[in-house]
Amino acid sequence: MSFPYLRPRRLRKNKYLRDLVAETRISPRDFIYPIFVKEGISEPEEIDAMPGQYRWPLEKVHEIVGKALDVGVHNILIFGIPSEKDELGSSAYSSDGIVQKAVRKIRKEFGNEVVIHTDVCLCHYTSHGHCGLLTKKCRDGFCEHVVDNDPTLELLAKVAVSHAEAGADVVAPSSMMDGMVRAIREALDRAGFTDVAIMSYAAKYASAFYGPFRAAADNAPAHGDRRTYQMDPRNGEEALKEVNLDIEEGADILMVKPALSYLDVIKRVKDTFPYYPLAAYNVSGEYSMVKFAARNGLVDEKKIILEILHSIRRAGADIVITYHAIEASEWLKEGLDIDLF
């Protein structure tokens, strides 16, 4: 009779031995918590499509930021939901826009205890819901509306500078326009914000996993979809091209989005560019699927969330942008971890 000579089970027999050899750890320091701030409301509104997440009024946004800080989450990402939209998305770059006001208020309240990241895009602010300007282009009698790349860059740069003026630490361009990182870097530098960093949504896919977010933030395109600018889910190598361009244009932090169906992309990007911090966005659809499955008793909510967060880090993400940030940090603080149930 022959016995196994190599026995991986030896290192699995005790929790503390498993902890000792665990390759991946998560901590509140790895998380960025997304926050929706909505103009024109006075009480937080729970988002039906995202149980446990809220749209916050400006007057109360400090409550949720305070909650994040209490559990050790010091990085937040602000999304604005304006009450006025127009063709040019002008409320996105007005100095008293909802994001600009929220940034000022949060900074005033918490100083440098919080790192404020802001989403830089037009889709929440344009009447047509696209991430760039729409232009009617005609050629030989055939006309179509296209999302016009180059004129959009100027507006994105204005949005980023207005966020920096309000006090943002990191601007996060998410529109997937070509050249957006360079346009924003140049504008920030020209305006004197050489120390404001750029976290670029470098490999952002045209994904059905954004469904609940669009319900939450009212940014769905009125016509068409985002496939002329966001990436095709069939492509993996192309992510390296997108990431490489953003590095050349001056990105400080890179991002892959969504996370769970794109763990291979996270891994490839980290292996290819190990010296750049990499964020992964655990998006709304990923969050809501877990919440609704747990509500129906199909999965153990805490276990599955901790498994997901570890998986994203194991794939190679240094940073996880996640709606689970606060609850997961609470569990970690209570001493609960993936190996303790």
Residues making up the annotated binding site for Mg(2+) are 242
Of 188 and 283, CB closest to ligand PBG: 283
291 is catalytic: no
Residue 232 vs residues 8, 204, 207, 259, 269: alpha-carbon distances, Å: 40, 9, 8, 15, 16
Nearer to ligand PBG among residue 174 and residue 329 (C-beta): 174
Least Å distance between CB 121 and ligand PBG? 4
- Of residues 38, 85, 101, 204, which has the active-site annotation? 204
Q: State the binding site for Zn(2+).
A: 121, 123, 131
Nearest-CB residue for ligand PBG:
213
Residues annotated as binding site for 5-aminolevulinate? 214, 226, 284, 323
**CB nearer ligand PBG, residue 281 or residue 338:** 281
| Shortest CB 221 distance to ligand PBG, Å | 8
Query: Which of 51, 336 has the CB closer to ligand PBG?
Result: 51
Question: What is the radius of gyration, based on Cα positions, of the chain?
Answer: 21
- The nearest distance, CB 133 to ligand PBG, in angstroms, is 15
Q: Report whether 177 contacts 152 (CB < 8 A).
A: yes
Q: For 336, list phi and psi in degrees, rounded to 5.
A: -80, 135
In the residue annotation, 158 being an active-site residue is answered as no
Closest distance of CB 219 from ligand PBG, Å: 5
Please report, for the chain, how many H helices and E strands are present, in that order: 11, 12
| 49: DSSP letter | T
Residues near ligand PBG, by CB under 6 A: 119, 121, 123, 131, 174, 210, 213-214, 219, 226, 283-284
Closer residue to ligand PBG in complex, CB, 259/269 = 259
CA distance 261 to 278: 16
Residue 47 CA to residue 21 CA, distance in Å, equals 40
Give the count of beta carbons closer than 10 Å to the beta carbon of residue 330.
16
d(CA 336, CA 314): 19
Rounded to 10 degrees, the C-alpha dihedral 170/124/324/75 comes to 20
Among 85, 105, 257, 291, which one carries the catalytic annotation? 257
In angstroms, give the least distance from the CB of 186 to ligand PBG.
21
| Residue burial 114-123, b: 16+ Cβ < 10 Å; e: rest | bebbbbbbbb
Residues tagged active-site:
204, 257
